[in-house]
Amino acid sequence: MNRLTRYMLKQQFIMMVFVTLGLLCVIWLSQSLRFIEMIVNRGLSVSVFLQLTSLLLPSFLAIILPISLFFVVVFTYNKLIQDRELIVMRSAGLSQWALAKPTLILALLTAAFGYFLTLFYLPYSYQQFKELQFSIRNDFSSVLLQEGSFTDLDGLTVYIREVGQDNELLGILVHDARDPNKQATMMAKNGALVRTENGPRIVLLDGNRQEVNPKDGTMSILYFDRYAVDIAHNAEDPALRYKEARERSVSNLLTTMPPDVLPNDIGSFRAEGHDRLLSPLYSIGFASIALAVLVSSSFSRRGQTGRLLFAIAIMIVFQVISITMKNLAAKNPDLVPLMYLNALLPIAGGLYWTFRGPQIRAKAGSRDEVPA
């Protein structure tokens, strides 16, 4: 690797890191808004919120990497063209391979990192995300220990006036409507949230239980010193949780059969598995598109705006086709080969056009275009 290749590779790598981090922050902020409800309604701490949302970053990163690389390559070579440095490089005898080599090395490294994400880290992180999300949604302690608000827990409405020392609950009201024919309201001066082998319970101390007979409308009141309300009525067993496609490995997605997967999900699981194998290739494909449009082009004094827009349009088209093919292949497995064709076509076409070299189309006597 000569000095020029190392220099260009370093510059593109640094630029790509900053572009990727910028896009990652924007997407993270927009997606994090979905979990604000957990902070507001479930009393989620900021640290748990950050842990929860950070586990989604690998999913975003796998999508961002090819796009970031594309724009870095476009910016790099467009600047070389505008500053006439590409003309100087060619005049010094550099071949198309020498000019494209730094980008192709970076594209291969990005694709390798993409495979690490899609094959290994992405399913692991997303599984951790779903398990943490599951535990938060089934951990009633973070919900119940909120002062001055009514909280609904699937038919169980809980109100806590104040949380005292050692998490003692003061001024408790519980309305149990899980059985529509036997609704009851419990009020107590104080109590506590305790955990048992059968799940969490609210232990009420010094209160009463009111129940209205739905037949004649009469109310019965029961005074108690101690009363326990089971709030684990709808708690789910984490071991029985159905795993989504993004939580599973590629081998599982491509081979799993019922009862491990629902029959209606087999097509989408297979499409997800093939997409995991293909998505890192778009780093090479999008970089090849940028090289084909810019490195193989001729310098024009009228600017590169048209070529830049053309390259962006091609990239967007392949990205849209990729998403469309994945959705269609989920319904019709016979379309899976088209997913591979869409991933390989920009690589083959882009590299062919890049190494074909600049084509001078200027007419005799015209100096609008010269080899870049």
Each residue's pLDDT tens digit, 123-133: 999 999 988 87
Quick one: pLDDT at residue 242?
82
CA distance 126 to 57: 9
Q: Which of 10-14, 35-39, 108-112 has the lowest mean pLDDT?
A: 35-39
Cα angle: 242, vertex 246, 250; to 5 degrees: 105
Q: Which CA distances in Å does 306 have to 50, 237, 293, 311, 350?
A: 42, 58, 10, 9, 18
Mean pLDDT, the chain, integer: 86
Q: Which of 8-17, 195-204, 321-330, 332-341 has the lowest mean pLDDT?
A: 195-204
Query: Quick one: 40 exposed, middle or buried, by C-beta within 10 A (0-12, 13-18, 19+)?
Result: exposed
Each residue's pLDDT tens digit, 28-79: 888 887 777 666 656 667 788 888 889 989 999 999 999 999 999 999 999 9
CA distance 268 to 333: 9
Mean pLDDT, residues 166-170 taken together: 84
CA distance 234 to 251: 33
* Res. 362 pLDDT band, cuts 50 70 90: very low
Please give the model's pTM, rounded to 2 decimal places.
Answer: 0.75
The domain limits of the chain are 3-138+241-359, 146-231
